[in-house]
Structure formats: C-alpha cells, structure tokens
Amino acid sequence: MEEFFDVVVVGGGPVGLWLACELRLADLNVAVIERREEGVPQSRAGTMHSRTLEMFDLRGLANRFLACGKWQPSWHYGMLDTQLDYSRLDSRFPQTLRIPQATTEKLIRERAMELGVEYHAGHQAETIRQDHSGVTVEGITDKGPFQLRGRYLVGCDGARSLTRQQAGIGFSGHEASHSWLLGDVRLDLPDSKLMITEYNENGGLLIAPPGEDGRRRIVVTTPDESDPALLRQPPTLEELSGMTRKILGADFNMRDPFWLSRFSNETRLADSYRSGRIFLAGDSSHIHAPFGGQGLNVGLQDAFNLGWKLAAVIKGEADEALLDSYEAERRPIGKQLNDSTLTQNVLMTSFSRGGLGLRKMVSDCLAFPEVNEKVAGQISGFSVGYEDVGAMRAFSDAPCSAGAGIRAPDRRVRRADGSEVSVYELLASGRWLHLSFGTGAMVPLADALPQEAVVQVCSSERPHGFFEGAAAVLIRPDGYSAGVV
C-alpha cells in the first residue's frame, strides 16, 4: 500500500533529519527513509562552525549542542602554522565546536522525533521516479518491499546518491589524486597541546584537540600517498604510527584506535541541485576532501535554505519559482566550498622546498588580521549572503527592497510593552520576522505574506549594529534579510 507525504527525504543522516525538522516545524507531512538500522558510531565530521551554531540557535537548539562538545578558539587552514581566529566574528559563538558527527546526528534525530517526523530505518531505496504531480520511491526492508510517494523528494543520501543518479543529474569534478590517513586514537600528549600541525619534506600531519573520550584525531599524509590504489587498502594503526614517526620522529605511544579511515581529494559538484520535483542536499550535491571541517556544515545549511521554501510553496504562500532560488543560492556556496578545499589541497600536498616556501608565505599572509578575518568568514559560513532577490519575487510583484540576503545578527530588541527579546528567539517558530523601529515603517513584501506566517514586532529603537539606518527589516525564516527600508 502506497503512503503519501508532502515531502519524502531519502537519507536519514544529519542533513536529511535537519531538513525533515524544518518541514515538520512548518506542519508538513514528511517521511525520512534511511537504509541503516542504527546511527553512525564513528565521530566522522567533528567540526561545527559558528554559523551552524547560529542556525541551531535560530530554532532554540544551540545549547543542546554546546553541552555535548568542546570549544576550539581557533581553527586551521591548510594545516598552516597561522590559524584562523574566530574571536572577531560578530556572534554569540565566536569559536568552533568540536563535536562528533554521531552526537550531532543523535541530537537532530531527537529533535525530529519531538516534532513527529516519520522515520523509517532499515529502508533501502531502489527506484525513484517522478511525474507531473509527485515522486514515488520504492525499495526493500527486511520485512519486504515498500513504496512511498511525496509531492516532492529530497535526496540527502550521500556521495553515491541513488537520488542523484536516478534523477539523471551529473556529478562533475576531479578524480582523486592524493589520499590521507585518519585515525581517532589515544596519544600521550598533554591536553594543553590543543592542536599540532607539522609539515616537512617527509609529509604533513594535524593532531586535533582531545575529544570527550580523550582520543585525538590525527590526519597524516606523505609524498607517497599519490597512488589512488591506496584508497582500496584498509588502514592500520601500524601504518598511521609509522607515518607519524616519519614526520615527527615519534608517535606519542599511539594506541586504542576507535576509527581508522582513508579519504582522498576527489572533488565533485552536482550539475544541478534540482530536477523537477527532486532536489539534492548535502553530500549528494557536493563532495570534497574534509579540509577545514566544512562539508557537514554546508550540508546542514543547504537543508535550512530548502526547508522553508518547500514549506512556503506547498502551503500556497509562494509561487513554485521560489524553489529555483534554492539552487541559485546554494550551488555557488557548494562551488566555493570545493574551491576552498582544492586550494587547501595544493598547500597540503606541497612537500618540496618550493612548496614548503609557499606554505610559509600563505601562513604569513594569514597573520594579517584583515586577511585572517576574510578567510575565517568563508570557512565559518559568516560571509555567506544571498544578494539575488529572485527568491523574494516568488511572493509578490511589488518592487523588492534593498538589503536582501544579508545575515541578521542576533540582538536584543525592546518590544512595545517594554520587555526585551532576542531576534533569534523571535525566529524560533520558523516564521518570518518583521521588525519596525519607532516609525511604523513596513517592508512592502511583508504585506504580501499571510498574516499568520509573519511575527510582527515594533520596537522603540533599533539595536546597535543591527542594519544601520533601517526603519524596518523583514527577515526570512532562515535568518537572512528579505528587505530593508
């Protein structure tokens, strides 16, 4: 028997679950299908950047993640000596949070269950087909075949995405040309040694700060790791230890591996993020070497961008053209992500005298505060903006206001009754937010939105550092401005 949903999400990792949370917050009927019976046990992606924490804060969830991770005051770029300083970011979270992917997935799944997401574990999708009115996915479970149908379907099913393949979307990019070995291990190093990087003619490595279980992540490569055939060989602790000794002269009594893996610099970007009623998000749309810890962060923000748009179209609040803005806004971010990791790849595979000199020169450039701040903004997600107003035209024919697509900083505003509330608290319901400051001014687009879709707040004064000179601001459900007057 076929079950029908507003949206079917293929892939129940962090990205798919987060998208489902956003859809349920808008009161849509959503199903997630996941081939695994259990969540991932390994730490895998272990870096949560500031903008992702702000994203969770926009839904009142940031403290759940903060309670399960460790702050890292700076972060690396290309394993250079000069690290990125996040302390200048205008945010409540001017640092990086070290948190295992398994924990992130667990917390998002708990949120999904609270919201009533229908989650189907042990469901292996096999065929996906769409027509003019919806998308059907068929597959198998240990109890037999299943069939689900949705008005839309989103593939969050990873680098080998069945969704992408069956939608006929190309995955252009670069083959692997170098590999790295990764391990979560115990080392005899004091906790005061937060992060260690070393590059010389023998290779390069990074040792990350200890996690909650006391283990450290070590990532290592040598000039010999350029053979793609190495990716097919199972990693061993002895190999990781030997490479570490070759570079540092010691392995710090490396032992007790929880996870060993290899990864490469294969880099690809989906030719499109949409085919009709089918969308892609996360690793199904972009893959790359995990330099800078950006991938999962960008995937979660893909989902955050798409969720409110699907909801607005399905609920009849916006024209379907709004859905085209998902690719227009997010694919350039995916390309920027891939360009960033390819740039770091050059720095991290340069072991010659000239290559090591290049690393020093770039590291010296990062010591300039303006350069450091710019790169930190890119890696953390703070520099992301959506200047194209195409998304807003799907709601109204009225002229679009200036100032669209700018990240809204969190500030406290004083309401008419004298009480104070933060901007992000006002956005926690997933609705739009219209703020006017004393004059009663109105962003024209706010009039075109359903009254129940907008939180209206009139404040006696505009907070310091919040859209300077504005009389009114309309903020999208994902925390970016839709117009300023």
Read off the DSSP letter of residue 221: E
Nearest C-alpha neighbor of 307 from the set 424, 150, 426, 477 = 477
How far is CA 157 from its chain centroid?
Answer: 15
Domain ranges of the chain: 3-174+268-380, 179-264, 390-484
The neighbouring-strand residues paired with 78 are none
pLDDT digits (tens, 9 = 90+) for 71-128: 988 889 999 999 999 999 999 999 999 999 999 999 999 999 999 999 999 999 999 9
pLDDT at 279: 99
Distance CA 65, CA 259 (A): 22
Torsion angle, alpha carbons of 281, 282, 286, 290, to 10: 170
Distance CA 466, CA 64 (A): 27
Distance CA 224, CA 202 (A): 9
Q: In which residue are the tokens 């919201």 written?
A: 115
Q: 23-37, 147-161, 199-213, 279-293 — which is least confidently predicted?
A: 199-213
- The CATH number of 179-264, from 1.10.8.50, 3.40.50.720, 3.90.1150.10, 3.30.70.2450, is 3.30.70.2450
Q: What CATH number is given for 390-484 in this structure?
A: 3.40.30.120
Residues 6 or more apart whose Cβ sits within 8 Å of residue 71: 95, 96, 97, 98
- Residue 43: count other Cβ atoms within 10 Å of its Cβ: 22
pTM of the model: 0.95
* Residue 160 tokens, joined: 């080998």
* Residue 308 tokens, joined: 């409110």
pLDDT at 398: 62
pLDDT digits (tens, 9 = 90+) for 456-474: 999 988 999 999 999 999 9
Written as one string, the DSSP assignment of 378-403 is HHHTTT-----THHHHTT-SSPPPBS
pLDDT over 70, % of the chain: 98
pLDDT digits (tens, 9 = 90+) for 315-353: 999 999 999 999 999 999 999 999 999 999 999 999 999
- Average of pLDDT values for 140-166? 98
pLDDT digits (tens, 9 = 90+) for 372-388: 999 999 999 999 999 86
Class of domain 3-174+268-380: alpha beta
* Confidence band for 236, pLDDT divided at 50, 70 and 90: very high
